[in-house]
Structure 1
Amino acid sequence: MKLIKVHGSQNSFFILDETQLSAPLGDDLLKTFTQKITSPNNPLGGADGVLVITEATTSKAIAKMRVINSDGSEASMCGNGLRTVARYLSEKFSQDSFAVETMNANLRVRREKNLAKGIYTFAVEISPVSFNKASLPFDNLGHERIIDTFLPEIYPGLKFTSIAVPNPHLISFISQEQIESDILKDVGSYLNSPNPYYPDGVNVNFAQILDKNQLFVRTFERGVGFTNACGTGMSATSLAFCLTHPEWAKFETPINVYNPGGMVKVIVHHDSTYWMELIGNATFTKIINLPEKSLYDFNFSHAQVINTNEQQDYENFVASLPTFNNLRAK
């Protein structure tokens, strides 16, 4: 069978197509498999999670994607991961535009013009959007919705916005000095441990406004910790940017979102509801062939690994970004 090591904005995953297998792994085995294969100590190197492809349960989607974090928990969506799954399915079924089933919605994806030489690029829908307390969920903060609101219980002096897309996010626009400090680590660690405010944890995003329609975003991701990028986080932050800083951000206009792993574009739409398009790389770094038995005994020593040349193209792209090197978070 074949695994593929992939990344979107250096948010790295293994793609596991369960339709290749004689039988699905089952949730318990899949959790343990993910914890083992994402460990940096295994021969294939670490990752942020596993993207599992299964048969769709609806005729409106070409396949279903599940997202298993490195700690074994399951996320409802992953924007960076969805781009790589979109590329895999596009090549598998020879289609450039289709829908992928996720935990909460069927999401539209399509092949896009490459961001740069050798950078396979896909646009994916990020939705549904909710601000409701029950959707995130949060409690004990004195608000039904949190939009550009001071929350001294979480951190004094900072305004926050909280949005589910459907992954839960907490967003604050701060200075470069603050984004390079330990504030994000402290807030992210606290809210993803037992706490009275976000009982299920939350993805915490700190953003610096660079210019009109330009952001830098750093994320502490629930179930993972610091990641090079978070697709739903950059999408939720772009929506918060449009809502809370209309003099700097516009709906229906591409927003360049820089991150420690590179750059994506986000278009925030507002018709009958809010939804976003996340546009960025879908890079395959390794093609891994191994016996199916290896999935059950977690032995990856017999894997045959083919390295692609795509990572070098991606690094060239990152090096070409005009503001990137000045914004790399500590």
Structure 2
Amino acid sequence: MVNIEKVHGSQNSFFLLDQTELARPLTISELQRLAVEIADPQTGLLGGSDGLLVVQPADNTQALAQMRIFNKDGSQALMCGNGLRTVARYLAEKYHQHEFWVQTAAANLRVKQYPALGAGVPAFSVEIAPVSFTQASVGWQHLQTSKIINQKLPQLSADLKFTAVAVPNPHLISFVTNIHAAHPSLAYLGRKLNEVNPYFPNGVNVSFAQILGPNKLFVETYERGVGFTNACGTGMSAASLAGYLAAPEQVTVDKLLTIYNPGGFVKTKIHHTKTDYWLELIGNATVIAKLQVPEELLHQARFKQEQIKVMPTDEQEAYLKLIAAK
């Protein structure tokens, strides 16, 4: 039997699999198939998820371990801020460390345990980097601009202004005055730019954000390879930076920001060095349930419920109590 976990950060949910615990690690194609099957809301486990997080040995000596992310459609993501917090917690508990590095597809990132957000709500802080505004990093075409920072893109909208930034996942962010009223526009734009289109041929994460007050935002994201999620960690981080660039009188560098989302809230902090930016994302790392699964079922990506042992925790109840009080 293999232990896996269902986890979430801001109710952006995942299954977490530690490949180092397997007798025979899954291949890339097996992991892709597993992600599609386990995440399916109808036929997957425990109501599905937004994707699959995979822990495996690092390729370098600086990092304690490596994280790979598979979206619910089987595609791989460069980074996942909400997922990294849950992986950080898993590794902290496994190796009894409170601060260390985790290898991701783009960089080794520093993670550390953070004071609990509330009773029964463990929290971690993770580095979001590298940050880039280049066309090559974000991946747009035919928009007649070499950088997109708080500017109109008539090819996409007659009214909205956009900022494009990679953190390292590519993000397109627009600030709106009423995010709930703008939801249909976000749905339309998110689908359009993640289907076959001339502007973002590889797709892009699209976020709408609303400034609620000084250093306080609400962010909603249509995520590449997933669709609408309760929260997108890199999206909230990218929106924090976009907010600073668009409205520095409202969004401040080197101070904690509160970012609300459909799944709860996180804290972010923008760091500005002489040469670049990096971001810090702080939030819950919740274990919904622990499961024991026969290893062969993972290789087959087939789940026989009678062969799986599910051990729910009380952490989801604690998290929901926390966000209800906010």
Task: State the TM-score, normalized to the length of structure 2.
Answer: 0.97
Q: Is residue 115–residue 121 contact of structure 1 (8 Å, CA) maintained in 2?
A: yes
Secondary structure of 1:182's match?
helix
Q: Deviations over 1:25-54 (max 9, x none)?
A: 111111111100001123432100000001
Alignment partner of 1:313 is 2:307: no
- Determine which of 294, 297, 302 is the counterpart of 1:299: 302
Within 2, Cα distance between the matches of 1:219 and 1:76? 17
Corresponding residue number in structure 1 for 2:56: 54
8 Å Cα contact 1:179/1:207 also seen in 2: no
Q: CA deviation at 1:23?
A: 2.1
- In 1: Cα distance, 2:140 partner to 2:105 partner: 21
SS of the residue 1:185 aligns to: helix
What is the rounded CA distance, in whole Å, between the counterparts of 2:191 and 2:262 in structure 1? Answer: 19
State the secondary structure of the residue aligned to 1:120: strand
- 1:326 corresponds in structure 2 to none
The two structures have a TM-score, normalised by structure 1, of 0.96
- The residue that corresponds to 1:158 in the other structure is 160
Tell me the distance in 2 between the aligned counterparts of 1:145 and 1:43.
42
1:31 paired residue number:
32
CA apart distance, 1:299: 2.9
1:35–1:70 CA contact under 8 A, matched in 2: yes
Give RMSD over aligned pairs: 0.9
Q: Which moves more between the two structures, 117-126 or 175-184?
A: 175-184
Match of 1:135 in 2: 137
1:324 maps to which residue? none
The 5 Å alignment of 1:6-21 reads 6-21=7-22
Partner of 2:187: 185
State the alpha-carbon separation in 1 of the partners of residues 236 and 287 from structure 2.
Answer: 21
What is the CA-CA distance between 1:297 and the residue it aligns to?
2.3
Q: Distance in 1 between matches of 2:233 and 2:93?
A: 22
Partner of 1:275: 278
Equivalences for 1:1-330 in 2 at 5 Å? Answer: 1-41=2-42, 42-176=44-178, 179-272=181-274, 273-300=276-303, 301=305, 302-321=307-326
Identity %: 51
Q: Which amino acid aligns with 1:96?
A: H
Amino acid corresponding to residue 311 of structure 1 in structure 2: Q
Q: For residues 197 and 297 of structure 2, what CA distance do their matches in structure 1 show?
A: 39
Give the partner amino acid of 2:312.
N
Which blocks of at least 5 consecutive residues in structure 1 are unaligned? 322-330
User: Tell me, what secondary structure is at the counterpart of 2:187?
Assistant: helix
Preserved CA contact (<8 Å) 2:179 2:209: no
- Secondary structure, aligned partner of 2:36: helix
Counterparts of 1:12 and 1:35, CA distance in 2: 14
